[in-house]
Structure 1
Amino acid sequence: MTTVPGRRSSTFTRLLRHGFTDPAAAERLLALPALATVRDDPLLLDALGATADPDLALSGLVRLAESQPDGDDRILLSTLTTSKPLRDRLLGVLGASEALGDHLARHPGDWHALATYEASDLHPGVADFEDCLAEAADPVALRIAYRRCLLSIAARDVCATTDVAQTAAELADLAIATLRAALAIARAAAPEDGARCRLAVIALGKCGGQELNYVSDVDVVFVGEPTGGADENTGLQAATRLASHLMRICSETTVEGTIWPVDANLRPEGRNGPLVRTLSSHLAYYQRWAKTWEFQALLKARAVAGDPLLGEEYIEALSPMVWQAAERDNFVADVQKMRRRVIDNIPAAEVDRELKLGPGGLRDVEFAVQLLQLVHGRSDPTLRSGSTLAALQALAAGGYVGRIDAAQLDDAYRFLRAMEHRIQLFRLRRTHLVPEDPADLRRLGRSLGFRTDPVTELHREWRRHASVVRRLHEKLFYRPLLDAVAQLTPGEARLSAKAAGQRLEALGYADPAAALRHIEALASGVSRKAAIQRTLLPVLLNWFADSADPDAGLLGFRKVSDALGKTPWYLRLLRDEGAAAENLARVLSAGRLAPDLLLRAPEAVAILGDPDGLRPRRRDHLQPEILAAAGRADSAAAAVAAARGVRRRELFRTAAADLIGSYGTEDSPAETDTGALVDQIGNALTDLTAATLAGALRAAVRERWGDELPTRFAVIGMGRFGGHELSYGSDADVLFVHEPRDGADDQEAARAAGLVVEEMRRLLQLPTADPPLLIDADLRPEGKSGPLVRTLASYEAYYRRWSLVWEAQALLRAEPMAGDPDLGARFMELVDPLRYPAEGLGEDAVREIRRLKARMESERLPRGADPTLHTKLGRGGLSDVEWTVQLIQMRHGWSEPGLRTTRTREALAAAHAAGLIATEDAQILDEAWVLATRVRNAVMLVRGRPGDTFPSDTRELAAVARYLGFGPGHAGDMLDTYRRVTRRARAVVDTLFYDA
C-alpha cells in the first residue's frame, strides 16, 4: 500500500472516519503479513470502529495473530471474518482492555473462549465458573483459568449482552468459584489440616452482595471448628493455615499477575485479631465489643466457600444482630460520621476524580441505601438484600424512598459503576480515579457509548449523575426522620395493634382506643400510601406525645392526611424533606389555631418542608400578591375572599414558625431571643393585616368607581396595629382620612369616602371560618359619635379646637397602613405636634393621663378576673407598661428623636438610652411586656380564640406552658413566674407613672 507523499490514502481517510487516532500507524499494522487475509474486509474495519479504542483493538489483534502457532492464525482470522459474535466480542475486549490483550498474547488459544455464543454462555453462575476452574491444580493455572473466565465476562459487558448489575454479579460468582478452587488447592497441599477442621469462608462487601468490580479486594471472614477428634486449638491452627494458604493463592503475584487480594481485615479486632475464630467466639465478640460499622459491614455477609453448614450457622446467628444494630445509641450519627470521615481522608488533589469515595460517588449511594436498610429493615424483611440496586428497588416498593428518587439513584449508580468497570478493565488495576489523560478519557467515553465528543459528553454525564447522587444522598442520608425511626423499638416500628394500645397509654394519649382507630385508618392496607404511613406514624406518635395534647395531634394528622390523601407530594414531603414531619407534628399538637388554618388550606403543609417556608413574607411582597388577586376577581366579595386566602396561608406560616420556634424573616435568620420573636410576630401580623386592608380597599373602590375614587383616601393604623404589635387575635384599630381631588365636588367626595369605608367593613365582615379581621374605628374624633371618615382639613380643625389629651396619646401609635401614601404622610405631619407637644406635657395633662389610667384600672377589668393574671389590664401587664412608656414619649418626645416611634419596645429602649429610665427598670418593664404579649399569643394559638387571661382548662393551660418553655407538669411554675415578673413591673410603673 503506497501513497503519493503528502496525499492521504482512501484507507487513511476511512480509518479516521472509524475513530482511529493514529491512522498512519493503523495503516502500517493492516499492511503486516499477519493480517493479509482480512486487511481489506470492510466488516473488520466497521467492527474495529465500534470499539472503545480502535487503535488498541487493532494492535491487540496483530499481537494475537502473530502469537498463534503455525496455521492457527488462519483459523483465527477466518473465524473472525465469518462469525460476527466472535468479531464483536474479541475486538470489543481488545479495544477496552490492554491487560486482557496481554493475556491473549501470552495464551493465544484462549480466544476460543469467546467463539461460543450459546444461551448458556449468557449468564453463567458459580457452578459454571467452577467447571471452568476445575482443572487448575496450582496457583499459576488458577490465574490463567481465572483470566480466561474474565475474558468472557468482559466480552458480554463491552458488547452490552449483560448490564452493569449482571456483570457485577458474574464477577462475584467468579470470585466465589475462585475462592472454592483456591481452598481446594490449599486442602490438597495439606490434607491433614483439612481433616482436623471445618472451615467456612464468609464473603462481605461487594462479593457478598453480588456486585463485585473487575479488580477489587474480596472481603472475607473465616469461621473454623475442630473436627476429627482435634481439640479446639489444634483445629483452629489447621483452619488458620488453610485460610492463610487460600489468601496467598489469590493474592500473591506470579508471572501471570494477581487474581485479587483477599482481605480479612473486617474480622473481629481487625488485623490484631485471630484470622480464624470459632462461631461462639464470633458471637461473643459481636455481642460485647463490635462497633456500629462492623454490623454495617455484615449487611452483605454470605457463606460462599468451605463448609456450607458452618457458613449458614454463622449467617443465621449473626443476622439478627445486624438488624438490631440500628437500636444502638447514636447509630445513625455514627454511620453519618463514618461517611464524612471517608471523604475527609481523600487527598485534596484526588477528591474531584474519586469515583467511589468522593462526594456524589458510589459510596454516597451505598451508604444511603445501607442506612435506610438497617433502620427500616428491622421490621421489614423485604429490605434485607445484599445488593445495592435490589435493596434500592425494595426501598422504593415499600415507600421508604420516592419512586423518582429511587429511579434517579438507580440510573446514577449504574452509570458510575459502568465507569468504574471500564476504568479498571483497561489495565485490570484496582482504581477508582477518573483518568486525566485525554486518550484514556476518550477510550472511557467511547466505551460508554459517547461518540460525537466522547470526553465532553462523558464529563457532562458524569457530573450530572454525581450531582443527582449528592443531592439525594444529603436528602436520604441526613433526614431527621431516620434518626427518630432508629430510636424506636422494633415493636414500636411495627405498630402492632395490641402493643400499640399499651404504648399509646404510656405515652399519654387520653383515648388510646380512638388513637388506634386513627392509626388503623391511616396505615392499614397494602397501598403505597399505607406503607409510607406505617413508616411515619411510629415517629409521629412519639412527637405528638411530646406535647400537651397528643390526641389532638393525631386527630389533626388524620384529618390532614384524609384531605391530602390523593396528593402525591404530601407523604413524600413528610418522608423526605428535612424536618417537615416533625414540624407538622409540633404544629398539630400545640393548639387549635394552626391546625384549623391548615385544615382549611391543607396544601400549606408544603410550607413545613421548605427551608425558607417558615420565614414570613414582608408587606412589599404580600401586598402586590393580594392586589393582583383582587384585581383578577369578578366581584368585590370574590376579591376579598382571595385576599383572605393569602391571609389564611400567611397566618398559618406565622403561627407554625412561632410554634416550631424557628421564626425568622426573609432577611434575618431565626431568633432565640423571646423579645425579638415577639417583635417579628408583631411585624408579620401587622404587614399581613395592612396588605389585607389594601386588598379590601382595592375591592371596595373597583366595585363602584373603577380604578380611581373622586377623593384621595388613606387608612391610618392605630393602637397595636400602628405599633406593629398585633397579636393573633387583635382587632385593627384605624382612622380613615380623605381629601377631594382637584375639581371634585366636596359632597360627592365625602359621600364616596363614606361608601368606601362602609363597603370595606361589610366585605371584611362577610361570614368566614377564618379568624376574623375586625376594623375598629373608635379612636376617631368624637369616638363612636363621630363620622367614620373625615377630610384632612376636618381632622386639623378638630384637633386644633377640641382634641383631648387621650386622643393625643392615642396618636402616638398612628402610622399610615393603606391607601394614598402622600395623604398618609401629610396626616402624620398634622398630628406630630399634637403627640409630641413642644416643651412636653403640662402638669394638668399629666394628671389627666394618670386619672384616666386609674379609672380604666377600676372600671374596665372584667368582673371576677384575677388582676395578677390579666395580661392587658392586670397588674404589671401590657397597659401598665404601655401607658408608662407613652407618658415618657409625650413628655420628652419633642427633644428626644428616638422616642418618636409607634413601637413600645423601641420607645422604651430610646428612653433608657436618653437616661430617662434606669437600666434595671427598663429591663423589668421590657420583660413584663414581652411575657404578657407571648401569653396572649399563646392563648390564641392554643384555644383558637383570643383571650387576655390564662385558660382554666388543664390541657389548654399545659399547652400554654409548653409554648412558653415550661416542661410537662410545670404550669404552676409558669403562673408563679408571670406573677413575679408583673409584680416587679408594677412597682416600676408606680414609681415612673404615678410618681409614687
Structure 2
Amino acid sequence: MSQLITEHLPAALLELTEQAWAQVLDSAQTSELALPAALQQRAESRPALARELATAMMGSEYFAEQCQRQPAMLVELLQSDALHEVMSAAQLRQELAESLLEADSFEALCSVLRRFRRRQMCRIIYRDFNRLATMEQTTAELSALADSSIDLSLAWLYQQLSVDWGTPVDSLGQPQQMVVVGMGKLGACELNLSSDVDLIFVYPSQGETRGGQRVVENHKFFLKLGQQLIKSLDQVTADGFVFRVDMRLRPWGQSGALVLSFDAFEAYYRDHGREWERYAMIKARIVAGDKLAGERLMQMLKPFVFRKYVDYSVIDALRSMKQMITREVSRRGLQNDVKLGGGGIREVEFIAQVFQLIRGGRDVELQDRRLLRILRLLKEYEYLPAAAVDELRAAYCFLRNSEHGIQGYQDKQTQALPVAPAEQLRLAAVMGFACWDDYYQVLSQHREAVATHFRYLIEAPEEENADGGLGQEWEDAWLDEDSDEQVVAWLHDNGFSEVEEAWRQLSMMRSSKRVKMMQRQGRERLDLFMPRLLASIAEHDGASTLLLRMLPFVEAVLRRSAYMVLLLENPQAMQQLTLLCSASPWIAKQLATHPVLLDELLNVESLYTVPDRATLSSELQMQLLRLPEDDLEGQMDVLRYFRSAHVLRVAASEVTGRLPLMQVSDYLSYIAEVILQQVLDLAWRDMTASHGRPQQSDGHSCDPGFTVVGFGKLGGLELGYSSDLDLVFLYDADAMSESDGDRPISAQKFYNRLGQKIIHIMTTRTTQGALYEVDMRLRPSGNAGLLATSLKAFERYQLNDAWTWEHQALVRARVVAGDRGLGQRFDTLRREILRQPRDWQKLRVEVVEMRQKMRDHLLPKTTNAQGEELFHLKHGSGGIVDIEFMVQFAVLALANQHPALTEWSDNVRILETLSGIHLVPCEQTEAVAEAYKAYRAHSHRLALQHCENSVVAGQYVTQRQLVTQMWQQYLHEQAVKK
C-alpha cells in the first residue's frame, strides 16, 4: 500500500500532498525501509490510516519533512501504533529517560533530546490534525514533553557538573538542587505546538560546593547549570532544537541575575513586585529540579499573587494592562493574529485572570492555572453569565486549535493567520472547513464574541458615567475648598439636619492622624470616595445620623482602600451600602467590622435572596472542599465568612421588608445548623485521623455515632442575629471501648475531645471574629458534667435526676447535626420523657417558681431616662417568656394524654397543636401566637437598631393583657385544682 487516501482533501492541495508523500516513499526506499508494507500491515487494523496520513502530510510541512528525513521514525510510529495512543506524562518521561542512558556527552544529550522531541512532535501533530486528540490532550502532552525534557536534562547536567565542581550544600551540609519555575503556557500545562518555554531559575540558599575538584559558591554552580540547561534546550543544531527558552520573566528581567536564591527571589516580589508580575505568577508552576523545595517557594509567593480579600485594588493596574493590550493591537496591526489580535487567545486569558487576581485570594479554587477550569468556575460561581462562559470556552478551543494549525504547518512560533491562498486553504482544511471563507466566518464570530466580553470587562468609571452627575459641591465639601459656612449651608440644603455635628465629625476625620498618615494612592482613593459617599448619604432621610453611623465604616477601610475601589467601581453597591446602613445600625456595624462583606452588595439579586437549607449546606460544603483538608485556619475563615455573609442577607431582606419574621428565624437557624454539621465533619476527620473510630458495643465502628442537639432558640427555630447556641453533645458507643487507630483512646475521651474541637472551631476569635458563642450548661449536671454524654447516660439522667426546668428545656430541643440514626433515637427518647405522667399541682408550682426566679434575676429596669414605664418584650409580665413557660407547662402536663404535643419544638406550632386537639380555644391560641410573633418581630427590629429589648408600657397593652389572662387561666393555683 503506497498510496494515500486523499479524496477528502481540497483539490488545490492534492498535488502538493502527493508530492510530499512521494518524497517520503523515495527516502524510505533509499534507506531500504519497507514503508509501504508497514503501512499496509497497520491499515488492516486501521482502515482510516491512509486518510489520516494524507491529512497530516497536507496540513504540516514539518511532519512531511521529518518523515522524509527520518523514514525509520515513521515506520516505528506505524508499527508501535503510537499515532493512535494518548501518552501520559509518566510514559513520556520514561521513554526519554531510557533514551538518555546512551548520552555520554553534552553533544549526545542534545542529540537525544532533539530526536525525542522530533518524534513526539510528529506524533502529536498527526493526532491533533486528525482530531484523534482533544485540544486539552494536545496541550497536556506538549507540556509533559517540555517537563520531562527540562527535568531530565537538568538532572543529567547537574550530575556532570558535580563531578568537576562538587555538590552544592547549605549551611547544614544538606545537598541543594536547582528549582525551575515554568511560567505562562508551560506553567498552566497549556503549551502550544511551537511554543517557547518561559523559565525562572531559583536555588534554596547560599553556600559552597563539596566533593569536587574545586570549590565554588552555590550561585556560581547554579549559574553555570542554568546556562547549560538553556543551551541544551535552545541551541539549534543539525537535529534542530528542543524548546526556545525565554528568561525575561525573572526578577528584573533581562538585567537581572539568571539564578537567584529563595531569599533574594522572595525579597524581590515582596519589595519590588509589580501588578503585571502578579498576573504572570498566576500560572507559575515548578516544572523541574527539587519539586518539594519548589512547592515551599510557591507557598512563600502566594500572598504576593493572591490577596486574602476580594482585591479590587488591582483593578486600576488591570485596566492599564487591558488598555495596553488594546493599544498594542492597534499599533502593531495585530488583527491578523489569533493570539494577540482583538478577540484573540490573550483576551480570553486576560478575562479569566482578572477574576483570579481579584477573587483568587478568597475563592481558592480560582488559583488553578488551567484556563478552561477557571472558565468553568466563573460559570459555577456566577461571576460571569453562563452564556458568556460558553461563548468564551468555545472561542478559546477554536482559537487554540487554529493556533496549532498555524504553528504545526512549519513548526514556527507564530499565531498570524496565513496570507497565501494555499496556506489559508491548508489551515481551513485542518480545521474541518471546505474553504477559507467558511473558516474565517466562524473565526470572526468567535473573535467578536471574545472582543465583546473583553470590551466590557472592568470598564473605567468614566466610561460608565459612574459619577452619576456628581456635583462639584460634594468634592468641595470633603476637600474643604469652601468656607465652613458655605459647606454647612450646602449640607443643610441637602438633607443634613443636625449639620453642625455632622460637619464637626467629618472635619475631625479628615484632619485625623490616620488620614494624614495614608499613603498617596490611598489618599487619592479616599478623596474620590468621600464625595460620592456624601452624595449617596444625602439621598436618605436622617442624613446626619446616617453619616455619623457610617464614619466607623470609613475609618475601617482607610488602610484597606481596595474596598473604596470596590464601591467606586460599583455605584450600585454604594447605593446598597447607604440604604442598608440607613435601615440598620446593626448592619452598619457589621460592615465596619467586616468590610469583606461588601462583596455581598455587588449582586442585588443574591443579596436579597436567602437560600433554603439544602442550598446553604451545598454551598458551604463546596466552599470547604476548595481548601486542603489540613488547612484548618482557612476552613475557619470560610465558615466565618459564610455565616456573616448569609446573616447579612437575612438582615438585608428583613429591614427591606422582603422576609417575614418566621422565615427570618428559620433561616438564621438553618445557617447555624449547616455550620454545625460542617464543623462536626471537620472535627471528626481530625479526630479519626489521630485516633481512629470509636467502637459500638457490638464491635462496629461509629460513623460518627455523635449528634448535636440544639436547645433554646436554636432548638425552637427562633434564632436571632446575636443569639448564642445552647447545645448538648450525645454519642452512641461503649464508653470504655477503645478507638481503632494507631493511638487508641476510650470512646468517652474521644467524644469529649471531639466536643472540645467543635467548641474550639466555633468560638475561637480569628480576624473575622467567632462563629457563635456556645452555651453547654443544659447538658446533664450542667458545667459539672462531661462535655459529651452517651445517650444511655442522658436517658438515665433525664428519668432520674433532671429538674423540672430541664424537662421544660427539653420541649425546645431538636437534633441539629450529626448521626441521623442516633438523632432519631434521641427524638424518640425526647418524646418518651415529655410524655411521662406528671403531678399537675407539683408541676405548676415548679414552673411558676422558676418563672419568678427568672423575673427576679433577669428583668431589667422598668423605666427609661425620661421616667416612662417600660415593658421588656422578653422578661416583662405578659411577654415572651410567659408564653414560652405556658407552652412548656402545657406540653409537660398534657403530653401523656395528647402525644401530638411532643412533635414540635417551636412555640407557634405547639400552640397550633393545642388548638388543633381542642385543649385551648382556637381564638385564644391564635391571639397568643400573634402576640408572640409580634414581640419577636419587634425584638428583631430593636436588635437591628442596636436598641434595648424594651418598649414604652403603652405599647402591646392588649397583647400583654391577653397573655396575662391566659397565665391566670392555666397556671393560677385554682386553675390547676379544677
TM range (shorter): 0.3 to 0.5
TM-score by length of 2: 0.46
Structure with larger Rg: 1
TM-score by length of 1: 0.46
